Amino acid sequence: MHAVKIFSHPLARGLRLGAGCAVLFGLAGSDADVRASDTFFADIPPVLTASRLAQSPLDAPAPVTVIDREMIAASGFNEIHDLLRLVPGFLVADNADSAPAVASHGLGDAYARRIKVMIDGRTINSPLWGNVIWDNLPLRVDDIDRIEVVRGPNGAAYGVNAFQGVVNIITRAPTTESGHTLITRIGRNGFYDHGVRLNGTGEGAFDWRLSASRRAETSFEPYYQAKNRIWHSSESLTRSTANFSSTLQLSATDELSLQLGFSEGPTQRGAEAYSDYPPHTERDRALHLHLGWQRRIDADSGLSLQYSQQREQASGTWPVTQRYQDLVATFPSSRDSEVRRHDLELQYDTRLGERLTAMLGLGVRTEHARSMALFGTGRWLDDTHGQVFGSVSWKPLDALTVGLGGTLEYHDYSGQLFSPRLALNHALGADAALRFSTGTAYRAPSLMESRAFQTDRQDGVIRRIHYRVFDPLESERMRFVDLGYVAQLRSLGVMLDARLFREHYRRFIDDKSCWAHTCPRPEPADYLPIDPGKKSFYFFNANDFRMTGAEFTLDWRREGWGRAVLSQAFIRIDGGEPYSDRDIPESAPDSMTSLLLIKELPGRWQASLGYYHNARYYWMNGGDIVPSSDRVDLRLARRFGAPGSDNEFSISALSVKGRYVDFHEGKFRHEPQLFATLRIGW
């Protein structure tokens, strides 16, 4: 909490600084004595530099999907992870026993951890598992400007763990927002989501945004599984979320940014029928700090230094009852844990010639975790990771761009790793391009995969072992080849993005179960189980296999009519027979589809429809079959107030067909949502 105290009054401090700097550097707006001729010759510092501009998909060395504000609003989604349903090949699931999970093309489980997720460039994957606690992010859908998704590995640009994809959530820039906004959502089954967003400006030098919200939702009601005659677990959560974002223009070339995020709240989970997971309350808390300094050297060169800190706290204890022969015993189980991450990154980008640009970066990250329940020790566990990354983009011909990049990193648990990438983009006229890229990416084992010894303890003895590690694991490795075609046909209002890919996975990290006598090592002396037949799980490097797929997005827009965004993916996993886990090839659906239709209507009305289809597939480790299914979402909205204002009333129905199978066919039915939204700005 030390860092938070340092910035205990960011608003007041920033306002004072802002006002001072505005005068000092002459950034304040109007000056009555300014000559009219100066308006034609005055220097204006570069604003829309390469780091601020979205890279054209025609030039990008990897396939990129952008979910923009229009799509975000029209989807009706009020949870950030749901927005990723609009990315071709992305799988999204929630379950009643843990946070939602997002995977790309398959290989997902309750702790899906093969996608790197960032907020404004800072990594937010949890240091524990490497997954993302999607239901406890310190920002809401209403704070997002757009989401940029790299569909595929990009370790060369983002380092280790940018394995199956990279999701960068770009929040609304304080400089481009104004006024105050009240947002309230109320729906069936006790759902509410009330929030406020405040924006302020200090005459150009200091801009800030403060968002705060509170929401409650029941995502799973108990589901009765007739086959086993059992009621499965439910999930209801309440969250308070706040985030503060500010930029301070120190001079024409220097900018400081500060972001603070907070999310906290209880979750009711469990089932009456579960002897090891009865109804109980868990609590999550997340705190994020992000400090950035950017220096724009000239239009083509810039330097940035970023520091971020992330803290997560999870708590929850419940009684576990076990029966073995005539013995009935109750002992506590806990998820109490505390993690911290510090991340420091320096990046320099420049132009080396008319046809050559380059980027070079350095980064250091430390991760710290403490959890008796997860690691069997009350000490802090530490993990350090350093990296050097760089890329060059060279245009030997007008129609050809060669991109070469790589990351060299050192990781406490995986040693030295090098992730290279080569990309060739060949322009087919001004509005289409072919892309070929190939390279290697790695995923280092997470803290849990490196150090787990998850136990239930009672009076100094171990009653049960859940996850554990016997032998050090090696990093997962993927070698990939990607062939893409992108076309932006503005005259037709069409954008087409298609690709074929093949990924070779090596040393895939999976877990498998063992009993007392089948485990690779003898059990510890203080292990005194009530039921000796209970399984524990240990991580291991499983077999190699291959993932092959094709996907496309067709985005069509016509002014005044609306927009249609269709995405389709076909996926197959093979080449790994015999599989260590039969769920591996089954974890990829043969095909999946998303369609977002947006129709502009007279009188400032807008209707939208979201359609999502997946073929049958599996969620691994804790999950199970999700059958072939179709989901339809509807939204009707009307804007009101002054033209250009954000005022809107809408009704959203998510999953109009009712409850749907999520994560595990036998256990979970996600609740549909029906809610009204009112957004008023002033």
| Residue numbers at the binding site for other proteins (CB under 8 A) | 22, 26-32, 34-50, 52-56, 58-59, 68, 145, 172-173, 175-179, 199, 201, 203-205, 249, 252, 299, 430-431, 488, 490-491, 495, 559, 642-646
Instruction: Round the CA-based radius of gyration of the chain to a whole number and report it.
Output: 26
Q: How far is the CB of 632 from other proteins (least distance, A)?
A: 29
User: Taking the complex as a whole, how short is the minimal distance between the CB of residue 29 and other proteins, in angstroms?
Assistant: 5
Burial 65-90 (b: 16+ CB within 10 A, else e): bbbbebbbbbbbbbbbbbbbbbbbbb
Q: How far is CA 426 from the centre of its chain?
A: 31
3-class SS at 155?
helix
Cβ(377)–Cβ(371) under 8 Å? no
Looking up tokens 């009101």, which residue turns up? 640
Q: 349 or 671: whose CB is closer to other proteins?
A: 349
Nearer to other proteins, 31 or 577 (CB): 31
Are 58 and 490 a contacting pair, CB within 8 Å?
Answer: no
C-beta of 492 vs 656, nearer to other proteins: 492
> For residue 314, what are its two tokens?
């999870």
Residues 6+ apart with CB under 8 A from 491: none
For residue 464, count other CB atoms closer than 10 A to its CB: 21
CB-wise, 59 or 590, nearer to other proteins?
Answer: 59
Minimum CB distance to other proteins smaller for 204 or for 575: 204
> 134 — phi, psi (to 5°)?
-60, -30
Q: How far is Cα 441 from Cα 503, in angstroms, rounded to an integer?
A: 10
Helix (H), strand (E), coil (C) string for 312-360: EEEECEEEEEEEECCEEEEEEEECCEEEEEEEEEEEEEEEEECCEEEEE
Shortest distance (Å) from residue 205 CB to other proteins = 7
Residue with tokens 């940035």: 304
DSSP H or E segment with residue 40: helix 38-41
Residues 225 and 667 sit within 8 Å (Cβ to Cβ): yes
Q: How far is the CB of 154 from other proteins (least distance, A)?
A: 19
CA distance 408 to 412: 14
Q: Please say which residue, 234 or 606, places its beta carbon nearer to other proteins.
A: 606
Q: Supply the minimum distance, in Å, between the C-beta of residue 491 and other proteins.
A: 7
The answer to whether residues 267 and 281 touch, using CB atoms and an 8 Å cutoff, is: yes
Q: Which is nearer to other proteins, 98 or 175 (CB)?
A: 175
Q: Of 79 and 143, which CB lies nearer to other proteins in the complex structure?
A: 143
Please state the length of the chain.
682
Q: What value, to the nearest 5°, has the Cα angle with vertex 481 and ends 476 and 485? A: 135
Q: How far apart are CA 470 and CA 520, in angstroms?
A: 7
CB of 61 vs other proteins, minimal distance in Å:
14
Task: Report the nearest approach of other proteins to the CB of residue 200 (Å).
Answer: 9
Distance CA 250, CA 205 (A): 7
**CB 34 → other proteins: shortest distance, Å?**
4
In 3-state terms, the chain is what percent helix, strand and coil (to 5)?
A: 10, 55, 35
CB of 647 to other proteins, least distance (A): 11
Which lies closer to other proteins via its Cβ, residue 22 or residue 509? 22
**Closer residue to other proteins, CB minimum distance, 145 or 264:** 145
Nearest-approach distance from CB 143 to other proteins, in angstroms: 14
Contact 565, 71 (CB under 8 A): yes
Name which of 48 and 327 has its Cβ closer to other proteins: 48
Distance in Å, CB of 644 to other proteins, minimum: 4
